[in-house]
Structure 1
């Protein structure tokens, strides 16, 4: 309910899963809320390559923000912080044609 009050329309979970290194939500968790969910099953380890999900995350963010009043909330764990930041910046640079400094 809090997310709805904040006007959140989309959730990007960059650490979907059930262990201590994940954010334990999924599409079923948001069912009936009117919030569109996208989960990435990423592990918060040095070995896990998050870069393969950058484009997917940027696409999800782009589609969300293209909607009238679209707002995205990103769930993440420690390593995924960099991912969330990069995905947001990549979206701004690729989709909004901003340079690195502006993004």
Structure 2
């Protein structure tokens, strides 16, 4: 799978692109839900949505033989906790030498998943800095919590807009973050775009 990185690593001075970036507007929840459902692939248990990043469900996370076959080296459980959770933990993977990282999150619109966006994105970046590592990010269905965290990673570390991140993932996996998580991703998108504008303003002043 070709990496998306070069597209975002190239800087251009073209005034048309500068103007386009200035006019970036985060879509509404309704528009994002339409984007997520239109032209999406069929649902399967696990998919590679970015080089060495897999989004999967509970069954995938519990199938140690399958993880070994896939070459998974790290597991990020986005569904720790008491309710609607996947209770595995680090000890579940000791015989596989898989590194485990878990966060407690509920798949409900009122849950503040955004508190984990930057720590998880940093963790994922550290894991992926080694090209031999393969990371499974999962929740129960692999559609809402885990998908939201991967979208946030692509936005924070790979400099994608929310729409670009959704298009990257949805062509490989059927995802549907709940409306509360979509709202939090919209807020992240607006924050990151504002940062970009401020950085460009600072460069122009220099």
Alignment of 1:22 onto 2:91: no
- How big is each residue's C-alpha offset from its partner over 1:26-59, in whole Å with a ceiling of 9 and x where there is no partner? 1111113121110012233343222211222212
Deviation at 1:87, TM superposition (A): 1.8
Deviation at 1:4, TM superposition (A): 1.4
C-alpha contact 1:17 1:25 (8 A) present in aligned 2: no
Which residues in structure 2 correspond to 1:25-64 (within 5 Å)?
A: 25-64=88-127
C-alpha contact 2:85 2:140 (8 A) present in aligned 1: yes
Q: CA RMSD in A?
A: 2.2
Report how many residues are paired.
Answer: 101
2:111 is paired with a residue of what secondary structure?
A: coil
C-alpha contact 2:117 2:153 (8 A) present in aligned 1: no
Q: Of the two structures, which has the highest relative contact order with CA contacts closer than 8 Å and spacing of 6 or more? A: 1
CA distance in 2, matches of 1:100, 1:72: 21
- How big is each residue's C-alpha offset from its partner over 1:55-99, in whole Å with a ceiling of 9 and x where there is no partner? 222122211211122211122136x73332232122222212334
CA distance in 2, matches of 1:86, 1:44: 10
Which residues in structure 2 correspond to 1:1-103 (within 5 Å)?
A: 1-19=65-83, 21-77=84-140, 81-103=143-165
1:18–1:42 distance in 2 versus 1, CA, 3 Å: same
Deviation at 1:18, TM superposition (A): 4.8
Q: Which has the higher helix share?
A: 2
Task: Spell out structure 1 runs of 4+ moving beyond 4 A.
Answer: none
Unaligned runs of 5+ in 1: none
Q: Provide TM-score, normalisation by structure 1.
A: 0.79
1:2–1:42 distance in 2 versus 1, CA, 3 Å: same
More off after superposition, 84-93 vs 67-76: 84-93
CA distance in 2, matches of 1:62, 1:38: 13
Q: Provide TM-score, normalisation by structure 2.
A: 0.43
2:80 is paired with a residue of what secondary structure?
A: coil
